[in-house]
Every structure is written in structure tokens, then in C-alpha cells.
Structure 1
């Protein structure tokens, strides 16, 4: 694609180095891209993590349209986080339409290609003028503990049926969604080869000090460490039954602080810059 307008309705906030972020960066090299941050899946709690996210979203909202690069822009929309009230739902849809319409007008995006990464954008995008609507499925959101399963299944079916193309990151999702739209295809996640090949071929790359002294084998995971994506019971089972293995977890931790406290061979490293990951990868035997 070249010289096109593209809007990505994300399931993540800007800055997380997920597939949405990577696509936005790459599309913007030859196209004008508007990345719209997530509107969330659930009503927030009064936890420190949720309050911090609300504060950050408000800061981003008041910045308006942020220009990240020459052809890349980010919008953080504002919604009222009360999702079960019909009046609030109607107001949120009105707010979203107004904000997105304003952003499109400012950027001159009349009929863009629209990529959608979550079903909760359905009411907003279903009648939006566009060249193509692409439903990009990377997770089965109906399986999330914070989501209303039946509601998400229904919205997902509608989104698939409304889309011109459905792209899925796994064979299972592809087979499940083909019954809703025959133009459903499997596209596996890629990897930043230039960056991560340094772990194998980068002679000047030093191993991260946090893992340099670990004995093999070392199993590694980087990403969001939450109960939605990480099987805590499986990791504890492996740690108990393979005490000579070291399991390294890198990333934001949304689990209980003491979830792995009794397992000395499970290490929580915390969040690291994306560019630092090859230095950890160099030590890890199984990813």
C-alpha cells in the first residue's frame, strides 16, 4: 500500500510494542496513519494500576492529535468508563464519533482503509466511510475474564460479517471465523529480524546483567504478564517439577505481587525497552 490513508482502531494504548504498534510504524513509511488508542474492555477499579492508566489517558486526550512521525499520528479518545448503562453507551458512541470525525477532518482522511483490533469498536466503524474494513483478530476476547463472553461473541460475529477481510493470527481463530466471513485468512505474527537477529549474530551485544549469571536451561517470556495471557498454574507446575529450569518473565506484571513468591526459579524482571530484549534473548534457551 502506498499513498493511502489508514486508521487503526487498537485494542492497546499507543507505546505498547504489539502487532498494532508494529503495523502502524511500517504502514506510515508510505502512507498516512492514524492510530486510535484502546477504549478498554471493562469498567476500571480503584486499583493503583487502573487509576494510573486513567490519568495517563486523560493526559494523552488533552494533547489532541499527537504527531509521532512525518506520517504517523495518535489519538487517545475519551469515553465514560461505565459500560453497562445504556445512556452512557449512547453518549460514548456520540463522543467517539465526534472525536474521530474531528481527527479525520484535521488529517484529511475521507475514505481510509480501516483496521480494527477489537469488537468494541463495531458500533463506531460499521457505517464509517472507507475503502476497506479489515478485522484483524489477534485474541479471542470473549475468553477474557473481564469481558462479557456472549456480548463479545455477538459483536465479533457482526464485525466479521461487516468486514471486507478478516485476518487472524492463529489457525484456530481462522477456522472459527471463516463461518462468519469466507474472506478470512491466517497471517502469523512476524518478528523484527533486524533487531532480534543481534542475539545470534551480534558479536558486540552483551548479555543483560539480570540474566547473565543464570544456568541453562533458561525459559523466557516477554509481554503482558496477566492472567489473561499467562498460565500461572502451568508455570508453577514447571518450576516445581523442573527445579533446574529458570523461567524468566519480562514485562508489565498485572498478576498478584506474590503469585510466584514461593518459586525461586521464576524470575520477574519487570518492563524493559523493546530495543533491550535481544540482550535477554541471547541468554534464553527457549522462548
Structure 2
């Protein structure tokens, strides 16, 4: 959905290399009875002709693998709108649309094209699975009884607190206020981070992740430590050294309809969390300090540094123990294999 654009897209080479490595594996079997396929796509969605070419290319690869695995009329689960062109004419027992975000609101996406694909999937899917209750409520008139809430999970084994922080974090003076994830300007409020750094000079602000935001504004502050991109396997150990974890989001359409996985990862690590307000947080108000203004955000971080989390670390982790990805997979299987799902033999509804 995202085409590289001069001046707005960062780390293009890394993204392309990561995709090519995945495609090179094509079909693999990480577990018995579980196969993963990475087809080769042509991500040109602005041209109707190239979209059709891409759909034919990907569909041919998927059909070949389905034939090899003996899948004649599978239940299909679509997670991104651009998959609609591929699955539309394919034989299936049912189509489930996993609506994790409002993708047409993504800045690098072609809003008209992606929005039209979202509309098709919302109209044609047998079930629409929402990770955001707000998005589900907004689209209830279009999905009706086909809507289901399917929350994100968390990798509990991975996000386990480390006894000692790694060297790159141990070198950063405590107390540490931290964030890990993509530092995209349309998501992260850089002005709020600047204010936090200025008003808490005694604390270190630790930022982990790739950035499209103007980081020079932040690193000009002596207490800001931007560690850049870290491999996924190293993130929990670094984050274990945070005294407070933050979610400094922008107030925009993307965030208002989001349900960040990061929140559950912070809680799994037992970290005190301070966040700007967004609708999904209504279900976490007993575990997270929520601020609706910059003044209150800074005050909440100061309070968290002084007092810790609203609950002890062990209780914060315990609160997400029932949210493993395994539990979410079981729920997805229940929905996908439901006896009442009797989708069309050849695409559509």
C-alpha cells in the first residue's frame, strides 16, 4: 500500500531488502500443518492496468500453492485492502476481512484507491473482524451482524522483563522515560516529546526505532537518547530498563481508530505507562495514566516516575496473560471454521 516517495519515505533499501528476503523463501513450514507463503507482488496500485497485472501474478502464485497443499475452497482471511483484487474471483468457502486499521488514512497510501478497496471488502466479506471497537462502531451500519471484535494479542514469552538492561541502555542515566516503535511524524507527537525533554531535564528520554520525524529537534536536548533501529529480539531487554513507558500519539483519524499492540507489550513488561488519550484506552484506564493535554501528559510522567504504575509490575503483566497470540489464533480459528460460514463457490457474496 505504500509507494516510496522522495522526501517522505525513509529506509527504502531496508524495506525492499526485507521484502526480497521474505519472497526468496516463498513457501516454508515453520510448524507441522502450518505453511507460510510470501508471493512476489508488484505494488503499483495507482494504475488500473498494473493492478490487474499484479492481481493475476499474485493469484497465480497463491493458486499454485493451494493446489500443492490440496486446498480447493479454503476460508480466506484478508488483512490489507490491496488483497481484494487477488481474492475476488478465487473459489472459497468464506471470506473474513481482518480490519486492523483504517488503511486509507495512512499518509503514504492512495486514499481514493485504498478506500475503494476497503469499501469492496466491507461489502463482500462474510465476517469483518475488528481490532478497534471505535472503527467497528463507525462501520456498524455497513457490516451489521457480520462485525466481530478480535483484539490484538501479545507475545508473552518474548516480552518478558530482563534482569539487567543491555550495555547501550545501561550507559543512559536513570531515570529513563522510554518509547519503542516507528517514530513517524504523523503518529508520534514530536512537539510533545520536545516538551517532555525540556521539562524533565533530570530524566533521560530514550527513543528506539526508525524515524521519519525530525529527530534533530529532539537530539538537540542533552537528555534525549535516540538508539535508532534495534532488531525485534533486542527490544524487550532494552525496554526492561525503562522506568516509564510512553505513547505520545498525535490526535488524528489513524490513532482514533487504532489499537496499538505496543500497549500490551508495555504491560507484559510490567512497565508504568503514560499515554495520550484515544478511544481504545477506555478499556485500560485502571492500568494506564491517560493525559488529554500536554500539561497533563508531562504531569503524568512525573507522577509515574515518582510513584510507579497504577498497579504493581506483576499485576500489570498478569492483566494481559489472557491476551496471548495463541488465544487470538484459537478465536480466529473458531470464526474461520464456524459451520454457518458458507461462502460462494466463485468470489463475491
**Structure 1 match to 2:336:** none
Following superposition, the deviation at residue 56 of structure 1 comes to 4.2
Distance 1:212 1:64 in 2: 40
Is 2:2 aligned against 1:41? yes
Relative to structure 1, the CA distance from residue 266 to residue 185 in structure 2 (aligned partners, 3 Å threshold; closer, same or farther) is: farther
**Structure 2 match to 1:165:** 127
Contact persistence 1:247–1:266 (CA under 8 A): yes
Is 2:238 aligned against 1:280? yes
Which contiguous aligned blocks of 4+ residues in structure 1 show a shift greater than 6 angstroms?
A: none
Aligned match for 1:153, one of 109, 112, 115: 115
**Structure 2 match to 1:250:** 208
Relative to structure 1, the CA distance from residue 86 to residue 259 in structure 2 (aligned partners, 3 Å threshold; closer, same or farther) is: farther
Question: Aligned with 1:135: secondary structure?
Answer: strand
Question: Aligned with 1:57: secondary structure?
Answer: helix
Following superposition, the deviation at residue 101 of structure 1 comes to 0.9
More relative contact order in 1 or in 2 (CA 8 Å, sep 6+)? 2
More off after superposition, 168-177 vs 214-223: 214-223
Note the residue ranges of structure 2 that are not aligned, 5 or more in a row. 246-349
**Structure 2 match to 1:262:** 220
Following superposition, the deviation at residue 95 of structure 1 comes to 0.8
Q: CA RMSD in A?
A: 2.9
Contact persistence 1:208–1:280 (CA under 8 A): yes
Relative to structure 1, the CA distance from residue 60 to residue 273 in structure 2 (aligned partners, 3 Å threshold; closer, same or farther) is: closer
Relative to structure 1, the CA distance from residue 74 to residue 257 in structure 2 (aligned partners, 3 Å threshold; closer, same or farther) is: farther
Distance 1:82 1:145 in 2: 16
Question: Aligned with 1:244: secondary structure?
Answer: coil
Superposition TM-score, scaled by structure 1 size: 0.72
Contact persistence 1:41–1:120 (CA under 8 A): no
Distance 1:226 1:174 in 2: 25
Number of equivalent positions:
243
Aligned match for 2:167, one of 209, 221, 224: 209
Relative to structure 1, the CA distance from residue 272 to residue 45 in structure 2 (aligned partners, 3 Å threshold; closer, same or farther) is: same
Following superposition, the deviation at residue 181 of structure 1 comes to 0.6
**Structure 2 match to 1:121:** 83
Alignment of 1:177-256 (within 5 A): 177-182=139-144, 183-196=146-159, 198-199=160-161, 205-255=163-213
**Structure 1 match to 2:102:** 140
Following superposition, the deviation at residue 273 of structure 1 comes to 4.0
